[in-house]
Amino acid sequence: QVQLQQWGAGLLKPSETLSLTCEVYGGSVSDSYWGWIRQPPGKGLQWIGEINHSGARHYNPSLKSRLTMSVDTSKNQFSLNLSSVTAADTAVYYCARVFGSAVLRLDLWGQGTLVTVSS
């Protein structure tokens, strides 16, 4: 049974870089695309982007200039970096598996990490 476990710093100051990592248990990071989604407190879900093991990346255009995603196949992990954070980046961040070929869905989710940006 494939599971995702995520971690990263929960409190950042404005202008710092948000860094989160998600590890794949019971499966291989080489099998799928992997996505990141965030949810500001009390609000809805926002698609951040996705990456696969060969480095193909697709980013939300509104975040693209600050966003970097990577995959480490040796550790079965994938990561998210978001630079120059502001209070508007405060959210719960989720990692997820983008499953399927013709019919896509986010079928597995990490537990979520609350990231707060505050001076």
| Positions that interact with another protein (CB under 8 A) | 35, 37, 44-47, 49-50, 58, 60-61, 94, 100, 103-107, 109-112
Q: Are β-strands 18-25 and 3-8 bridged in parallel, bridged antiparallel, or unpaired?
A: antiparallel
Nearer to another protein, 16 or 46 (CB): 46
Structure tokens given for 57: 């990346």
Minimum Å gap between C-beta 9 and another protein is 19
Minimum Å gap between C-beta 16 and another protein is 25
Minimum Å gap between C-beta 34 and another protein is 12
